[in-house]
């Protein structure tokens, strides 16, 4: 059953006047009536990123294209997943039709450069908020908190947790926090990096590496798509906190506040939960939305 969230904001008159948000929550059955809410449009200040994007009627969003549940290219080429729905919620709050989102594939290592050079307006891509990244970009959120975990072949018995990584070849992605964690904490393991997690999974199924590490929810998506061959170590036990943020240009404080306001509104009006339940929530339990950090 496909579950989609269509959130459209129709601006009446000029930017900054009253708008109507239509929340169409399609659970799949004809009996499901779309919820319709009327809200005040944000009063976008002249010259702000919000005014620019809203006037353009389009937004460039970077996300993953190979990660089940969060951002994975669909049959028409556009990505689907929880991060994608978060992107649509942001677009909707700017009065941008989801059809007018320009999606770009961002891999872990190019997220900061894509933001810094303006190739994307925001990144929503299982993107952990870290102090190091905050030196070059800013973050709204978090809108979800994951944690690093391990995935092995279904018949593997000797890797039972991070304490059993010594002498093992561990795959992760270049420029990711899980790769850095292995370098910092497991010098007795051999880290092998790839550009994407799907390439890590291929290396695991080929026998090129012993284990793949990244966020539990990313690994859960891969296990879900190939349960015969893959499994989470210790039921997906986590050993770090990975707060997912929306990356944006450093110093754009008004836009960051707007993104945080939009996330909080989505917590309140049910659209965050709807986005989760239609995507990652088909496999994972529904969490409480985390408090946004207006640093």
Rule CB under 6 A: which residues touch ligand GLU? 108, 125-128, 173, 176-178, 214-215, 218, 242
Task: Give the single-character DSSP code of 128.
Answer: B
Give me the least distance between CB of 114 and ligand GLU, in Å please: 13
Give me the least distance between CB of 222 and ligand GLU, in Å please: 12
Give me the least distance between CB of 55 and ligand GLU, in Å please: 31
Distance in angstroms between the alpha carbons of the first and the last residue of the chain: 39
**Which tokens in the block code for residue 33?**
């009536």
* Nearest to ligand GLU of 121, 215 (CB atom): 215
* Nearest to ligand GLU of 19, 263 (CB atom): 263
- Beta strands 79-80 and 71-73: pairing type? antiparallel
Contact criterion met (CB below 8 Å) for 42 and 50:
yes
* Nearest to ligand GLU of 23, 107 (CB atom): 107
Q: Rounded CA gap, 139 and 257, in Å?
A: 10
- Beta strands 122-123 and 101-105: pairing type? unpaired
**Which tokens in the block code for residue 274?**
């709807």
**Which tokens in the block code for residue 31?**
């009996």
* Nearest to ligand GLU of 42, 249 (CB atom): 249
**Which tokens in the block code for residue 280?**
């990652």
Four-point Cα dihedral 186, 133, 241, 252, nearest 10: 180
Q: Is the peptide bond before 129 cis (omega within 30 degrees of 0)?
A: no
CA 251 from centre of chain: 22
Give me the least distance between CB of 247 and ligand GLU, in Å please: 9
Q: Rounded CA gap, 109 and 115, in Å?
A: 12
3-state secondary structure of 203: helix
* Nearest to ligand GLU of 112, 274 (CB atom): 112
* Nearest to ligand GLU of 49, 214 (CB atom): 214
* Nearest to ligand GLU of 83, 210 (CB atom): 83
Give me the least distance between CB of 183 and ligand GLU, in Å please: 13
Give me the least distance between CB of 193 and ligand GLU, in Å please: 11
Give me the least distance between CB of 65 and ligand GLU, in Å please: 12
Look-up of token digits 């798509």: 225
């Amino acid at each position: 059953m496909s579950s989609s969230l269509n959130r459209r904001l129709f601006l009446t008159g000029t930017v900054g006047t009253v708008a109507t948000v239509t929340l169409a929550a399609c659970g799949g059955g004809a009996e499901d009536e779309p919820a319709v809410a009327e809200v005040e449009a944000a009063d976008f200040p002249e010259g702000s990123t919000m005014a620019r994007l809203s006037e353009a009627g389009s937004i460039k969003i970077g996300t993953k294209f190979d990660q089940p549940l969060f951002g994975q290219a669909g049959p028409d080429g556009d990505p689907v997943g929880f991060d994608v729905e978060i992107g649509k919620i942001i677009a909707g709050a700017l009065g941008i039709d989801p059809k007018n989102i320009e999606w770009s594939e961002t891999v872990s290592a190019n997220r900061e450069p894509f933001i810094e050079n303006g190739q994307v307006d925001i990144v929503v891509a299982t993107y952990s908020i870290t102090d190091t990244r905050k030196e070059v970009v800013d973050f709204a959120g978090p809108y979800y908190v994951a944690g690093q975990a391990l995935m092995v072949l279904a018949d593997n018995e000797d890797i039972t947790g991070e304490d059993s990584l010594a002498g093992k070849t561990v795959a992760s992605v270049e420029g990711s926090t899980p790769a850095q964690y292995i370098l910092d904490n497991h010098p007795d393991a051999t880290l092998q990096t790839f550009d994407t997690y799907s390439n890590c999974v291929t290396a695991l199924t080929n026998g090129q590496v012993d284990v793949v590490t990244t966020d539990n929810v990313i690994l859960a998506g891969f296990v879900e798509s190939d349960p015969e061959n893959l499994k989470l170590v210790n039921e997906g036990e986590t050993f770090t906190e990975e707060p997912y943020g929306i990356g944006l240009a450093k110093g754009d404080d008004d836009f960051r506040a707007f993104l945080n306001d939009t996330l909080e509104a989505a917590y309140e009006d049910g659209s965050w939960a709807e986005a989760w339940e239609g995507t990652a929530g088909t496999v994972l339990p529904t969490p409480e939305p985390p408090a946004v950090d207006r640093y």
